Amino acid sequence: MMLRRTEFKPKMHIESYEPQQLDAVVGLSLRAWSPVFDAMQEAMDADLYRAFYPESWRISQQKAIEDVCAADDTQVWVALDSGSIVGFVAVKLDSESSLGEIYMVAVDPDYQGRGIGSTLIEFALRIVD
């Protein structure tokens, strides 16, 4: 009898962000965005890049994530796979115009290419629709 090897893939799910998840969201976002900021630094004039990010892009982005996750006008959800946070999406809502904007999205580099980012965006679009 020949046994076939099968790979178990846990189902990813999305849930509302909780403040105790902040460190995980910040960590995966900084890892996910690192190649983008590295490419920007290479493409931009060094003085101009330093004007935008005088200390470090990581410091400014961490603060931006912290602010978004705490903002009253923003809804944040996390994607979990096997209990680990693997991505997040933040949607800013304008109550006056009833419009929403996908403000931030990130997927842990170890989980990219699996449709998690697309799933988060589709989820956010359904929520603001």
- Give the helix/strand (H/E) hosting 121: helix 116-128
Q: Please count the structural domains in the chain.
A: 1
**CATH number of the domain where residue 82 is located:** 3.40.630.30
Q: Would residue 115 be called left, alpha or beta, if left means φ above 0 and alpha means ψ between -120 and 50 degrees? A: left
For residue 123, give the nearest of 93, 70, 92, 79 by alpha carbon.
79
Confidence of residue 105 (pLDDT cuts 50, 70, 90): very high
pLDDT at 3: 44
Whether 19 is covered by a domain: the verdict is yes
What's the mean pLDDT when you consider all of the chain?
88
Stretch 68-78: mean pLDDT, rounded? 95
Whether 78 is covered by a domain: the verdict is yes
- Residue-range definition of the domain harbouring residue 103: 13-128
pLDDT at 97: 78
Stretch 51-67: mean pLDDT, rounded? 92
Whether 3 is covered by a domain: the verdict is no
pLDDT greater than 80 at residue 6? no
Whether 31 is covered by a domain: the verdict is yes
Beta bridge partners of 14: 79
pLDDT greater than 80 at residue 127? no
